[in-house]
Amino acid sequence: MRSADALSDLLVRGTDRSERLTHVEVVPPRQGTKVPWPEWAPPVLVDAWRASGIELPWAHQVQAAESAHAGRHVVLATGTASGKSLAFQLPALSAVLAGRRSNGRRGASVLYLSPTKALAQDQLHGVAALKVPGLAACTHDGDSPREQRDWARDNAEYVLTNPDMLHHSLLPGHARWARFLSQLQYVVVDECHHYRGVFGAHVALVLRRLRRVCASYGAEPTFVLASATVAQPEVSAARLTGLSVEAVTEDSSAKGQVSLGLWEPAFTSHEGENGAPVRRAATAEVADLLADLVASGVRTLAFVRSRKGAESVALTAGRLLDEVSPGLSAAVAAYRGGYLPEDRRALEAALREGRVVGMAATNALELGIDIAGLDAVLLAGFPGTRAAMWQQVGRAGRNGADAMAVLVARDDPLDTYLVNHPDALVGTPVEATVFDPGNPYVLGPHLCAAAAEIPLTEDDLGLFGPNARAGVDALTDGGLLRRRPAGWFWTDRRRASDLADLRSTGGRPVDLVEASTGRVIGTVDDASAHSTVHEGAVYLHQGESYLVRALDLDDHVAVLERADPDYFTSAREVTDIAIVGEDTHRPWGDARLAFGSVRVTHQVVAFLRRRLPSGEVLGEEPLDLPERTLETKAVWWTVPDHVLEGTGIAASDLPGSAHAAEHASIGLLPLFATCDRWDIGGVSTALHPDTGRLTVFVYDGHPGGAGFAEHGYRLAEEWLTATRDTIASCRCESGCPSCVQSPKCGNGNNPLDKDGAVRLLDALLGSR
């Protein structure tokens, strides 16, 4: 057992690193609260958990289980390793056992949903380990053989699947699942904070379809949701299910002291775009820290964004360790996607038994990892949300022992802001999960799918929200639905569920075809194809780099091949934005903040080849691609001329000032709206024709919007203040990737005026 102090000393020992540690936050230990098992819990289940080492449950587990048992919808939002599974397995398995009739017939079923296949498989292992006599449990996913699917339909009591399978398979084929659905008593929605943005909107509508189909079989299942610690889990859970949901948020599990260090890498001697200073990569820094910790025998897990990054961290750390003592590199491993469950279990066992001491994993795999009780966790970059960050930090702490975590900032505005503003991480509650089930672009396909499942009636429309009526009318006018006395019918020959892909953002995706093999290696969203897989683009797919030979827009195919060029590419685009309608606004003195509908017009006109890793421009090539339009939602702010005059910004610097403010605000919005900076876009101009003023827009990058811009509008004060502070406090001279430069800028980060952006935002915020 190590004390937190000893661990932090280790980090900064004998180096000049102490300057990089910007803050250490100590989260005090917590004494756990155990309570008796509920009286209704069947002895066979209690015995099974006792045999696995759980003598008594934590209070929050029983609180959530009691609500579910009483038939009340409930969401349990507590930390990692707080035993959320037990809280839903207890009522669910109890119902299955209680539902069994004396004649052996099955009478209650449970549907478990997780965002990934891997997690559903892990859950199945967990349920199987309880050895409930005769329990008929199985997964239902894209890999399940036909016999298993048939068996599940006819016999299963506990089916573990994902929203995609529910959407494409279970609901369209509900008649064959009639036995299972008519007995459905619990729907478990695990890791429900993953359902955000457009994906969240899709899942919300799939769950409404599930409720409607169940109701047609006379079943009204109780929903039990499990979430990471997020703000207002009951609000997100209610929006996700369309039901009123109770929340259990008090974590009563025991936890050791955790020290969270915030770490800002130093500037390097490299020069970036437009001569900007560049910080050392978070992955390089994490590899160093991982090597030091492993050399001292500290069990450490490092979270890295990409698979390639995880492998390079493990490799670099291994090389450093071999320098200390040849052979020591064997103590470090990479844990990555594509591994079979057996391989993952073997690696987890190696870590538990101490044969492996350090491991580097991708964020994406976080869900599938079954390791609790490490000494330290390293994060190469903020994982996107505070909820996800605490989830990863929560991996540290063995049996209530002290643990340490370090968040190493990447060179971008959000990470830079966070390591310099610890209050934003620890003082404030974590963010709420943002999504909008009312998005007409998402709603339409689900109304079609619902009508194909069971014709839609007037009474059904309420379930699908206030936009459902307009949606159904538009689909009827468009010939997709047919109105008959008994309701709206789907009469098309296609499968209605094929109209929506839950993980895509609309439009037909572009297939990525490998030239040498003809194999489809993946797809790219229609919306981003022009800028990412144009002819000549270097495209990264699962950590491998490819060179795009051709993009065929008619057939939605990009032909590419494996290549390792010493450059990367970035697209140049021309973007215009027009205001279609303002939904709401509020004055800030003479400045003005608004939210509404916009039409964004993009055209990718050229691309740059840039040397790796410096980004130095090697050449520019024109592209001949058509214009595209996006109807979406945006938040925008305007500042009138007389206010601008008071800022002292020269007229010629206004475009660069607005542009810099726009970039930084896009970088910071994810802190407030659970989005990724790639989910949103922006346009800034010193004079916009629709407003007649200097205007900065930030818009949702998905048709119809995803709720992010709306969230920005609601939290504009906090969001734009954080934006201003990020720019002002950055120690660079005139703009860098940590403040105003953006990796996705269609104008090559030009013009940008760092100082002007601060003055502009001061004028805007000062007008309130």
Site for Zn ion, rule CB under 5 A: 730, 732, 736, 738-739, 745, 747
- Smaller CB separation from Zn ion, 210 or 727: 727
- Smaller CB separation from Zn ion, 181 or 732: 732
> Helical H runs in 428-507?
440-453, 458-461, 468-477
- Smaller CB separation from Zn ion, 553 or 687: 687
Residue 532, CA distances (Å) to 307, 453, 552, 601 in order: 19, 37, 13, 17
- Smaller CB separation from Zn ion, 214 or 669: 669
- Smaller CB separation from Zn ion, 363 or 416: 416
Q: How far is the CB of 426 from Zn ion (least distance, A)?
A: 24
Q: C-alpha angle with apex 367: 366 to 373, nearest 5 degrees? A: 65
In 3D space, the residue among 125, 132, 56 whose CA is nearest the CA of residue 93 turns out to be 132
Q: How far is the CB of 605 from Zn ion (least distance, A)?
A: 14
- Smaller CB separation from Zn ion, 432 or 752: 752
- Smaller CB separation from Zn ion, 166 or 745: 745
AA identity, residue 193: H
Cα–Cα distance measured from residue 398 to residue 289, given in angstroms and rounded to the nearest whole number: 20
The SS3 assignment for 232 reads: coil
Structure-token pair, residue 167: 């959407």
* β-sheet bridge partners, residue 376: 300, 404
Q: What are the φ and ψ backbone dihedral angles of 144, each rounded to 5 degrees?
A: -65, 130
Query: Could you write out the DSSP letters of every residue in 673-705?
Result: HS--GGGEEEEEESS-TTTSSEEEEEEESSTT-
Q: How far is the CB of 572 from Zn ion (least distance, A)?
A: 10
Structure-token pair, residue 681: 């876009």
- Smaller CB separation from Zn ion, 182 or 747: 747
Q: To which residue do tokens 């990471």 refer?
A: 228
Q: How far is the CB of 513 from Zn ion (least distance, A)?
A: 31
Q: How far is the CB of 570 from Zn ion (least distance, A)?
A: 11
Q: How far is the CB of 735 from Zn ion (least distance, A)?
A: 6
Q: How many CB atoms lie within 10 A of CB 629?
A: 12
Q: How far is the CB of 683 from Zn ion (least distance, A)?
A: 9
The SS3 assignment for 735 reads: coil
- Smaller CB separation from Zn ion, 236 or 738: 738
- Smaller CB separation from Zn ion, 387 or 683: 683
- Smaller CB separation from Zn ion, 300 or 741: 741
Asked whether the beta carbons of 188 and 111 are under 8 A apart, the reply is: yes
Q: How far is the CB of 380 from Zn ion (least distance, A)?
A: 20
Residue 652, CA distances (Å) to 121, 638, 657, 689, 752 in order: 59, 18, 10, 18, 11
* β-sheet bridge partners, residue 483: 488
* H or E stretch covering 154: helix 146-155
Q: How far is the CB of 509 from Zn ion (least distance, A)?
A: 26
Cα–Cα distance measured from residue 599 to residue 633, given in angstroms and rounded to the nearest whole number: 8
- Smaller CB separation from Zn ion, 428 or 750: 750
- Smaller CB separation from Zn ion, 272 or 707: 272
Q: How far is the CB of 732 from Zn ion (least distance, A)?
A: 3
The two beta strands, 376-380 and 109-113, are unpaired
Write down the number of H helices and E strands in the chain: 25, 29
Query: Could you write out the DSSP letters of every residue in 519-551?
Result: -EEEEE-HHHHHHHSSTT-EEEETTEEEEEEEE
Q: How far is the CB of 642 from Zn ion (least distance, A)?
A: 27
Q: To which residue do tokens 């996800």 refer?
A: 388
Structure-token pair, residue 583: 């939904």
Q: How far is the CB of 278 from Zn ion (least distance, A)?
A: 10
DSSP type of residue 410: P
Cα–Cα distance measured from residue 662 to residue 683, given in angstroms and rounded to the nearest whole number: 7
* β-sheet bridge partners, residue 224: 74, 188
Q: How far is the CB of 304 from Zn ion (least distance, A)?
A: 24
Distance of CA 472 to the CA centre of its chain: 30
* Burial environment of residue 459 by CB neighbours within 10 A (0 to 12, 13 to 18, 19 or more): exposed
In 3D space, the residue among 258, 250, 246 whose CA is nearest the CA of residue 229 turns out to be 250
- Smaller CB separation from Zn ion, 471 or 656: 656
- Smaller CB separation from Zn ion, 100 or 744: 744
The terminus-to-terminus CA distance of the chain in angstroms comes to 53
Q: How far is the CB of 660 from Zn ion (least distance, A)?
A: 9
Specify whether the backbone of 35 is left (phi greater than 0), alpha (psi in -120 to 50) or beta. Answer: beta
- Smaller CB separation from Zn ion, 594 or 727: 727
Rg over CA atoms, the chain = 27
Cα–Cα distance measured from residue 382 to residue 388, given in angstroms and rounded to the nearest whole number: 9
- Smaller CB separation from Zn ion, 548 or 736: 736
Cα–Cα distance measured from residue 87 to residue 68, given in angstroms and rounded to the nearest whole number: 9
Residues in contact with 695: Cβ distance below 8 Å, sequence separation at least 6, in sequence order: 636, 637, 638, 658, 684, 685, 688
Q: Look at the alpha carbons of 287, 292, 293, 296 in this order and tell me if their dihedral is positive or negative.
A: positive
Q: How far is the CB of 659 from Zn ion (least distance, A)?
A: 6
- Smaller CB separation from Zn ion, 204 or 698: 698
Q: How far is the CB of 277 from Zn ion (least distance, A)?
A: 7
Structure-token pair, residue 649: 């910004």
Q: How far is the CB of 412 from Zn ion (least distance, A)?
A: 10
Q: How far is the CB of 671 from Zn ion (least distance, A)?
A: 17
Cα–Cα distance measured from residue 208 to residue 462, given in angstroms and rounded to the nearest whole number: 10
